[in-house]
Amino acid sequence: MSDSLDPTDWESYRRTLHAAVDDVVDDLTRLRDEPAWRPVPDEVKAALTTPLPREGEPLEATYAAFAETIRPYPTGNAHPRFFGWVHGAGTPAGILAELLAAGMNANVGGREHAAVYVERQVVGWFRELFGFPTSASGILTSGTSMGNLLAVVAAREAARGEARLTAYASSAVHDSVAKALRIAGIGSTALRLIPTEPGRGMNPAALRDRIATDRAEGNHPFLVVGTAGSVDTGAFDPLDALATLCSEEQLWFHVDGAFGALAAASPEHAYLVEGIARADSLAFDAHKWLHAPYAVGCVLFHDAGAHRAAFASSPAYLTRGERGAAAGAPWFADYGLELSREFRALKVWFTLRHYGLARLGASIARTCALASALAERIAREPELELLAPVPLNVVCFRYRAAGLDEAALDAMNEAIAVEVQESGTAVPSTTRIAGRRALRACIVNHRTNEEDLAVLVEAVLAAGRALLKETT
């Protein structure tokens, strides 16, 4: 047996690869005929808890095990009736890019090779999309949670060692911001949450008052986080007003735009992100509304020097060269936490080149139109109730029934979500709006159509009626 890990029969490997590609295409073409989600059976879970393999097996056997125990039980987000959380659906172009990236096996922490230049180009395209200057820096990340962490660390460093730091965000801010403050050593108790109404953003006057109070108490305000598309309802903070406030108060202004920032790609919705180009930093995901395969996000920094100063290091074993394989400065390792970095940029590069911004923007606009149509359908149903405005692509609603108190309605709607999910018909998620349990339909998938919305509504109504009958 060869010491190499390469196959001894390349043609056999080729056949396995071709079979896998055929299976992927088959799965994509019959998505609508499959359940939106199915639970993982106990016997499959057991099969995936076997001891560490000590001896190998033929690749065909490993692939057969995948096909039997893993392939049939995906997250479901490729399906057109997956409405849970905020999940991109992926694209055929992205699948191809992932295969090619794995084949290259590039480490994009730095050095002189093409993958570095692909990431620089993708970051440049995002700078252009959001109106950041050409001098701005950026780096691709695993997602906005990591982007928020990088921004918090850079803002902390820019605060130059001040004590008792305080940060500010709306009450609808993503939990990753509090985590980032904790990881950065500032502590989540430093985060001041400014109250908002359902579907509405942060009040700049209330923010200014809280900043003044903190300063009077001897604290050092350093960061405001604006939300572009809250997870709960898709609400937007007034980014332009917040940028003005931060300029006047000399605070770092970061925007968490996980999915909502990409409203900039839709001419109909770009007004929602007015002022986003004035942010000191902006984090967003390409695996949501751009549908690049998981996981890839980006964070942009207006001041490239402040960005680099927070993360740069130069140990002897990472000496940069003027020529040769160690050239290619600046390295991405100096702009984030990771030295070992996958070739995330290729799937974004494929996505933007193949589909183009106009087509991707039209897809974004269409999902928002579908959300409005769903809200209108819900408003016509006496058994359903909208719980928040629908500014974008998120619809929060619930099943209601006379004679049930709020606790009973909460429990019923939680049960409805599970019933609909386990039926395989559709996948809504849940959240709380003004203290009430809501069914939440986030329309991200480029495959979703009006018929899928009708199926969701009918499934919710059927589940609600069945549960109501059981309780009466």
Query: pLDDT tens-digit profile of 369-396?
Result: 999 999 999 999 999 999 999 999 999 9
Residue 161's pLDDT is 83
Q: DSSP label at 57?
A: -
pLDDT over threshold 60, residue 334: yes
Residue 314's pLDDT is 86
Higher-confidence position of 288 and 232: 288
Per-residue pLDDT, averaged over 416-427, amounts to: 98
Containing 94, the helix (H) or strand (E) segment is helix 92-104
What does the pLDDT look like over 40-57, one tens digit per residue? 999 999 999 999 999 999
pLDDT over threshold 70, residue 80: yes
Residue 208's pLDDT is 97
pLDDT over threshold 60, residue 444: yes
Residue 472's pLDDT is 72
Taking 3-state DSSP, the helix, strand and coil percentages for the chain, each rounded to the nearest 5, stand at 45, 15, 40
What does the pLDDT look like over 254-273, one tens digit per residue? 999 999 999 999 999 999 99
Q: How many Å apart are CA 372 and CA 250, to the nearest integer?
A: 39
Q: How many Å apart are CA 220 and CA 163, to the nearest integer?
A: 7
In the chain, the percentage of residues whose pLDDT exceeds 90 is: 94
Per-residue pLDDT, averaged over 428-444, amounts to: 96
Backbone angles phi, psi at 74, to 5 degrees: -80, 175
Is-above-0.85 flag for pTM? yes
pLDDT over threshold 70, residue 1: no
Per-residue pLDDT, averaged over 274-302, amounts to: 98
pLDDT over threshold 90, residue 470: no
Per-residue pLDDT, averaged over 178-194, amounts to: 97
Residue 199's pLDDT is 61
Question: Across the chain, what does the average pLDDT equal?
Answer: 96
Per-residue pLDDT, averaged over 13-30, amounts to: 98
Q: How many Å apart are CA 16 and CA 328, to the nearest integer?
A: 37
Q: How many Å apart are CA 288 and CA 445, to the nearest integer?
A: 9
What does the pLDDT look like over 138-161, one tens digit per residue? 999 999 999 999 999 999 999 988
Residue 198's pLDDT is 61
Per-residue pLDDT, averaged over 104-108, amounts to: 98
Backbone angles phi, psi at 279, to 5 degrees: -70, 145
Per-residue pLDDT, averaged over 28-39, amounts to: 97
pLDDT over threshold 80, residue 454: yes
What does the pLDDT look like over 189-206, one tens digit per residue? 999 999 887 667 999 999
Q: DSSP of 333-352, one letter per residue?
A: GGGSS-SS---THHHHHHHH
Per-residue pLDDT, averaged over 434-445, amounts to: 96
